[in-house]
């Protein structure tokens, strides 16, 4: 077991509110919890089963750090503006460390479509739409080093937590600690005032609680896609390609793609394939076919040109993706809420798991961690804390979760139509498609103010559909809808890539396989 302790002055907090907290897991959710809770004066102990990073740099973290508990650690990541703002406003010294390590700020202007670049007029609010990009290992490596220096945080590695300690004599039951062991210490209890589960999507905690009759409510929906990611590094003396007309991210129906600029001359490309596209799924695991697919997409072909970059990883796959909302609150027929367990909270994928396509996992973890810190400061009653925390998550994350599930279902229907060749014949379906393709898309591509509005929802700065409910925005979009196509043809997106059958032909994949 490796243990790190700290001696710097703790952050002042309200007298009498400090509590001992055990955090299970030191991924992004565990680190975010440590940041948010330690600055309120709580004593935080982070228990992680994995070894510490055998690294002194971002590159070593990427190549050497074995994160068994975080299977998606080497997939593409970009960190939304809501997370960037939390770092900028609450942890400016940490943000500077990230930038010093090579993490990058991509601004609202950096993401403008070609149709708006020549007319763009900056606004001070555009700074709030900045995102942070890097390899996930770099972000985690730097944040972990920062957390390890906090005065009231202890980070222990090589600790295997086998169970929770639960007092079932209380109503509701109360978590009072964990049962843990190391290579040198036998299984024994570790007590704390509060236990936080930040062990991710494979958390064993629900199984442990179920033995005590504590069963959370769960909503689960399939994402309908598989992820394939490959990392690259720019050759010495080569720069990233200049922005062209075709964007670096797009949706062809049978394939979603995105390029993710990262730190220190690195970038990654993710190709997301519908589960129903079996032929493409089988092709993408082949590095040569993965690269061939990238070279056929105008928005990313220049990135992977052999003259510009070299592969820096194999093709990494990720499947069995599902969205899940787990709650430890029960609601009776009259709408009254009660906690199923107290002094226990789940954060990150252990609580709310999202489709990585939307890039919200890390951002949600930080939002949840700060929601918990605010909850603990606002109320001292264990049952009320559980209910208040759950309510905060409903307010802060539920709109994005529901919107995501709805979009995933729509994408799955689109993929099914692509395989079957059967197009939607319903009037409602045709109207919805026209509204998206002939109204919303060209309107956003033709108006910087409207794009700003849309990006606020994308970046979790306001509910995702609020911008579509404002009268001025609706009028802009409806006006675009009724305009003749000839007058707005320059606002339609360019061709993003080959048609489905052509892509299958290029990759020698069977288009009929489903």
Give the global pTM.
0.92
The string of pLDDT tens digits covering residues 395-414 is: 999 999 999 999 999 999 98
pLDDT of res. 422: 79
Lowest mean pLDDT among 67-76, 188-197, 323-332, 486-495: 67-76
Interstrand relation of 20-24 and 194-197 (parallel, antiparallel or unpaired): parallel
pLDDT of res. 262: 95
Closest CA to 347 of 383, 393, 380: 393
Angle between helix 361-378 and 382-420 (nearest 10)? 160
Residues 178, 189 contacting (CB under 8 angstroms): yes
Q: Is the pLDDT of residue 418 over 70?
A: yes
Q: Is the pLDDT of residue 11 over 60?
A: no
The string of pLDDT tens digits covering residues 211-260 is: 999 999 999 999 999 999 999 999 999 999 999 999 999 999 999 999 99
Q: Per the structure block, which two tokens stand in for 113?
A: 């479509």
Residues 293, 284 contacting (CB under 8 angstroms): yes
Lowest mean pLDDT among 88-97, 104-113, 374-383, 420-429: 420-429
Q: Per the structure block, which two tokens stand in for 11?
A: 């952050």
How many CB atoms sit inside 10 A of residue 217's CB? 12
Q: Is the pLDDT of residue 203 over 90?
A: yes
Q: Report the alpha-carbon distance of residue 166 to residue 188 in Å, rounded.
A: 14
How many CB atoms sit inside 10 A of residue 333's CB? 5
**How does the average pLDDT of the chain come out, rounded?**
92
Q: Report the alpha-carbon distance of residue 79 to residue 67 in Å, rounded.
A: 20
> CB-side exposure of 477: number of CA atoms within 13 Å?
20
The H-or-E segment that residue 429 falls in is: helix 427-434
> What is the DSSP-derived secondary structure letter of residue 426?
-
Residues 376, 42 contacting (CB under 8 angstroms): yes
Say which residue, 20 or 78, is predicted with more confidence: 20
Q: Per the structure block, which two tokens stand in for 406?
A: 């709805």
pLDDT of res. 69: 63
pLDDT of res. 65: 84
Say which residue, 48 or 53, is predicted with more confidence: 48
Q: Is the pLDDT of residue 9 over 70?
A: no
The string of pLDDT tens digits covering residues 50-65 is: 888 877 888 888 888 8
pLDDT of res. 8: 33
Q: Per the structure block, which two tokens stand in for 394?
A: 């409903």
Closest CA to 103 of 138, 127, 145: 138
Say which residue, 422 or 152, is predicted with more confidence: 152
The string of pLDDT tens digits covering residues 13-29 is: 443 468 999 999 999 99
DSSP per-residue letters across 249-279: EEE-SS-EEEEEE-STTEEEEEEEEETT-HH
> What is the DSSP-derived secondary structure letter of residue 233?
E
Residues 48, 69 contacting (CB under 8 angstroms): yes
């Amino acid at each position: 077991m490796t243990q790190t302790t700290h001696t710097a002055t703790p952050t002042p907090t309200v007298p009498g509110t400090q509590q001992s907290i055990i955090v299970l897991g030191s991924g992004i959710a565990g680190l975010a919890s440590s940041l948010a809770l330690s600055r309120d004066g709580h004593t935080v102990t982070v228990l992680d089963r994995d070894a510490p990073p055998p690294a002194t740099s971002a590159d070593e973290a990427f190549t050497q750090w074995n994160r068994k508990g975080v299977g998606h650690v080497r997939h593409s990541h970009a960190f939304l503006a809501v997370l960037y703002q939390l770092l900028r406003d609450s942890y400016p010294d940490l943000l500077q460390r990230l930038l010093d390590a090579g993490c990058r700020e991509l601004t609202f202007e950096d993401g403008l479509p070609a149709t708006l670049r020549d007319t763009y007029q900056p606004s001070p609010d555009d700074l709030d739409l900045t995102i942070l990009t890097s390899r996930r290992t770099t972000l985690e490596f730097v944040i972990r080093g920062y957390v390890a220096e906090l005065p009231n945080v202890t980070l222990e590695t090589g600790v295997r937590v086998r169970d929770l300690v639960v007092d079932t004599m209380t109503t509701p039951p109360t978590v009072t600690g964990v049962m843990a062991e190391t290579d040198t210490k036998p299984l024994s209890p570790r007590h704390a005032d509060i236990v936080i589960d930040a062990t991710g999507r494979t958390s064993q905690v629900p199984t442990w609680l179920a033995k005590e009759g504590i069963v959370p409510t769960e909503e689960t929906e399939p994402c309908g896609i598989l992820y394939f990611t490959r990392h690259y590094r720019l050759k010495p003396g080569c720069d990233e390609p200049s922005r062209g007309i075709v964007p670096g991210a797009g949706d062809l129906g049978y394939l979603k793609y995105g390029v993710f600029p990262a730190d220190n001359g690195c970038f990654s490309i993710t190709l997301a394939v519908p589960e129903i596209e079996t032929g493409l799924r089988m092709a993408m695991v082949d590095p040569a076919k993965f690269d061939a697919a990238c070279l056929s997409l105008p928005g990313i072909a220049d990135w992977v040109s052999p003259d510009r970059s070299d592969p820096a990883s194999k093709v990494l796959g990720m499947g069995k993706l599902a969205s899940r909302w787990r709650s430890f609150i029960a609601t009776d027929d009259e709408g009254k809420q009660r906690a199923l367990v107290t002094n226990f909270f789940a954060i990150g994928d252990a609580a709310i798991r999202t489709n990585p396509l939307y890039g919200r996992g890390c951002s949600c973890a930080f939002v949840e961690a700060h929601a918990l810190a605010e909850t603990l400061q606002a109320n001292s009653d264990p049952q009320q804390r559980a209910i208040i925390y759950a309510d905060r998550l409903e307010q802060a994350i539920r709109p994005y979760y529901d919107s995501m599930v709805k979009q995933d279902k729509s994408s799955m229907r689109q993929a099914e139509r692509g395989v079957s060749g059967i197009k939607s014949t319903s009037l409602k379906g045709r109207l919805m498609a026209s509204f998206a393709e002939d109204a919303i898309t060209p309107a956003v591509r033709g108006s910087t103010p409207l794009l700003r509005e849309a990006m606020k929802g994308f970046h979790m700065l306001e509910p995702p559909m609020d911008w579509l409910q404002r009268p001025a925005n609706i009028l802009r979009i409806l006006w675009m809808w009724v305009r003749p196509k000839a007058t707005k043809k320059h606002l339609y997106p360019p061709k993003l890539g080959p048609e489905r059958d052509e892509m299958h032909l290029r990759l020698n994949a069977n288009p009929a396989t489903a």
